[in-house]
Homo-oligomer: A and B are copies of this chain.
Amino acid sequence: MSTLLAPASVGPRRGIRSAGNCLALPEARWNSRFLKATRGEAVDRTPIWLMRQAGRYMQHYRGIRAGTSFLDLCKDPARATEVTVFAQEWLGVDAAIIFSDILVVLQALGMPLEFVGGEGPHLPQPIRGPSDVDALRDPLQAAADLDYVYQAIRQTSAALAPDIPLIGFCGAPFTLASYALEGGSSRQFAKTKAFMYREPDAWHRLSARLAATCAHYLNHQVAAGASCLQIFDSWVGNLTRDDFREFVAPHLATLVSHVVDGVPVILFGTNTGHLIDLIRDCGADVVGLDGTVELGDARDLLGTQVAVQGNLDPTLLFAPQDRLAAATRDVLAQNAGRPGHIFNLAHGVLKETDPEQARYLVELVHGG
């Protein structure tokens, strides 16, 4: 395939600090609390946003969503913009993240995709063997077909306050491959790992195609107005360190290395406490931390050249306010004032969450 990308050697890419504001972002956005923190610069207050901050837990979202499928909402730039901007403003968080789903990339690569009410994604024609990998569409074409995402980003970037950056995102090659192979969510990833171990050549071809598609996709998002990118390797925590090194790291590093200069990249996955140094070495500017690691320990391990994001357990939003406040203070105390901390949950907001509790959390973090 002519549109695949040259592989990167695994290791940190050129720092975002040295690139400067080569995107010519408005001054207020470039110097926003959030983007400064991604670059490890000093900030007045710890910035915070929440993974899945626009979602089913919010009445506003449920109103906009009513009568529409999840996927149709993703494909409607006006309404995607509306839920994205509303969540940022209502919560008072320091960044917005475009409302979308990581699986639109698989659909653009030619895989049928449906969301069956409440049960999560279903891919009725999963990848069964190497020939299915080679039958996927071309990365450049797939990325070009996701224009509805770029439209939503353009509209959202314009609608947000000047000092609020918009985060674009995609799934990482491993996590996308797991959906493509399992046909949906999984607990054990039996099909994914069987394919990885038995068909390593096809695995690497699949991962390379996903990395190429996502690199084009992310750079289109930047061109449309995203000024930070998060790569969700949601399920990679199911791998051992050895398997991460062999089957994941080269492709993740390639993807990150092809993101345009000056745009910070956040790498995040759940249950990745045992992988965070390897994730950093794939070129992350910010390592997303989940609940399997204490933030202070993570910072000690990762060193001063990388920022971190996290990591309050989202179920603490179910707790009484005094417990929520104590746990929030503990996360902040673990960071101990080091620059380069973005407050977030350890994973996405749960649908059972009281929105007022989420807003209270934002106040707590901003209050310091």
Contacts and interface: CB of A to CB of B under 8 A. Distances in A.
B315 A197 contact: yes
A155 to B, nearest CB: 32
A189 interface: yes
A239 B313 CA distance: 8
Interface string A289-331: 0011110000000000000000001111011100100010010
A315 B243 CA distance: 11
A69 interface: no
Interface string A167-201: 00000000000000000000011100110011000
Contacts of A330: 242
A293 B318 contact: no
A292 B315 contact: no
Contacts of A3: none
Nearest to A327: B242
Given A241-B294, A292-B237, A194 B313 contact: no
A330 B327 CA distance: 39
Contacts of A313: 193, 240, 243
A240 to B, nearest CB: 5
Interface of A: 188-190, 193-194, 197-198, 237-243, 271, 273-274, 291-294, 313-316, 318-320, 323, 327, 330, 350, 352
